[in-house]
Amino acid sequence: MDRIRVVGGRPLNGTIRISGAKNAALPLMIASVLTEEALTLENLPRLADVSSLVRILGNHGVDYSINGKRAGEEAISGQTVHLQAGHIVDTTAPYELVSTMRASFWVVAPLLARMGQARVSLPGGCAIGTRPVDLLLMALERLGATVEIDAGYVVAKAPRGLRGAEIDFPKVTVGGTHTALMAAVLAEGKTVIHNAAREPEVADLAACLVKMGARIKGAGTTTIEVEGVARLGGARHAVLPDRIEAGTYAMAVAMTGGDVLLEGAQPDQLQGALDALAQAGARVTPTNEGIRIARNGAGISPVDITTQPFPGFPTDLQAQFMALMTKAKGTSRITETIFENRFMHVSELARLGAHIRLEGDAAIVEGVKTLTGAPVMATDLRASVSLVIAALAAEGETTVNRVYHLDRGFENLERKLSMCGAVVERLSGSH
């Protein structure tokens, strides 16, 4: 199993190109099931989750081809993938496949909308809380589907097609909004989604569906209106840049000091996190190329944050911000409102010398002068990268074990950091 070795104490200077967003890429790939024509996605990140989803879609009969890199080409720019679901050969998504990645559960919506039926395993996947699928299923039922749970599978049927309806989510759900959108575009009549998620990835999916012929208004706001159409066509769409990756590297620069241009990053997708970084003492400068983050030798100020749905502070940057706060001059409070047990990185950060105590849904972080390298263990995707950030600022050497979590969400992490002066290397094997 691979490990990552980090020798801390080097500031980061240079340019990091931001990859396509994993959280946008996955629903966009799933949307290919809605049409028999080809959907071409550009700027798709090279990630384990993307490869897994290609296999899952292939199981349903989706043909795919990937424009690989040619000899001598850098693998830093995203890949282009052509997906074509000419014939759906199977409307079952088996446990072995769905259990590897939660987002693949969303295939239930396009399968149901196009084929009138779907049988999809309940997801396994991430260790962060239960992340219930009940809101996704509620949305499908509102659109006229019958939904039953049978031996660990969701069996959804709409033999006469889906019908437009009012869908009122009791709480903001990105997965629920994605699902409702993909089901509603082929439903007969008008659907109104209330309390919809406003995340940029939702708006990106809607933009792609509109290119395919869907009629959608209001994506990116709390109310989305969909006028159903009989069929969708093919399209070409570039995946938006990954705001979580951009925020992660921004926090790494704030942690280590230095000056880095995050090329392609979009400030409006990340304002909640950028505001917190500025309060902590980093210089944040939006430019035509992206966002520049700099911190000279000055200390890090403590900042209290609470995770919120977009446009608030993203839960997916909570662990990274906590790593930054371990070296702040004073005490900060980090409150997690989105996912339960999303503080699994706390005990590992403590191994590096961090002072953190938990109080219910909050972590109280008392800044320390120095962190010291140690062997640590990654527990989930965002936690693992928070350990890398802390290691970059720790004295001595840190080994992060179980980095397969990182490969699910960060493309070329070691390479991007090394190019800015960090001492980071991947060690393969299990010694």
Complete domains list, the chain, with CATH: 3-19+242-427 (3.65.10.10), 22-238 (3.65.10.10)
In the prediction, which pLDDT does 35 show?
Answer: 98
Is 142 flagged in the annotation as binding? no
- Flag whether 102 is marked binding: yes
As a whole number, mean pLDDT of residues 161-186 equals 97
The amino acid present at 278, given as its one-letter code, is A
- Sign of the dihedral through C-alpha 103, 246, 371, 340: negative
Which secondary-structure segment (H or E) carries 40?
strand 38-44
Please give the pLDDT value at position 429: 73
Check residue 69 and give its pLDDT: 53
How far apart are alpha carbons 138 and 146 in whole angstroms? 10
The pairing of beta strand 290-295 with beta strand 305-306: unpaired
d(CA 252, CA 430): 27
Please state, for a pLDDT cut of 90, what percent of the chain lies above it.
Answer: 83
Residue 129 pLDDT grade (very low, low, confident, very high; cuts 50, 70, 90):
very low
Residue 160 counted as an annotated binding residue: no
Is 338 annotated to bind ligand?
yes
Q: Are 110 and 34 in contact (CB under 8 A)?
A: yes
pLDDT digit string, tens, across residues 249-288: 999 999 999 999 999 999 999 999 999 999 999 999 999 9
Q: 5: annotated binding-site residue?
A: no
71-84 confidence digits (pLDDT tens)? 444 555 689 999 99
Q: CB of 404 within 8 A of CB of 48? A: yes
Flag whether pLDDT at 63 surpasses 50. yes
**Model pTM score:** 0.93
Residue 133 labelled as part of a binding site:
yes
pLDDT for the residue numbered 152 = 87
Residue 56, annotated as binding a ligand:
no
- Asked, as a colleague might, if the bond just before 311 is cis with ω within 30 of 0, I would say yes
Token pair recorded at residue 36:
């028999």
Task: Tell me the pLDDT of the chain averaged across its residues.
Answer: 93
Q: Residue 83 — φ and ψ, nearest 5°?
A: -120, 130
Residue 136 to residue 27: CA distance in whole angstroms: 14
Q: What angle do CA 210, 212, 216 make, to 5 degrees?
A: 25
Catalytic residues: 126
Contact (CB, 8 A) for 217 and 379: no
The predicted model gives 375-404 an average pLDDT of: 93
Predicted pLDDT at 262: 98
Closest CA to 285 of 299, 312, 270, 267: 267
Q: In this structure, which long-range contacts are made by residues 94-100, counting pairs with CB atoms below 8 Å and at least 24 apart in sequence?
A: 94/59, 94/121, 95/121, 95/124, 95/152, 95/153, 97/52, 97/55, 97/56, 97/59, 97/121, 98/56, 98/122, 98/123, 98/124, 99/123, 99/124, 99/125, 100/52, 100/124, 100/125
Average pLDDT over residues 152-167: 96
What are the E-state strand segments in 264-394? Answer: 283-286, 290-295, 305-306, 331-335, 355-359, 362-366, 375-377
Q: Report pLDDT for 245.
A: 97
Asked if 33 and 85 count as a contact pair (C-beta separation under 8 A), the reply is yes
Place of tokens 């007969």: 188
275 is in an annotated binding site: no
3-state percent helix, strand, coil for the chain, nearest multiple of 5: 35, 30, 40
**For residue 353, pLDDT beyond 50:** yes
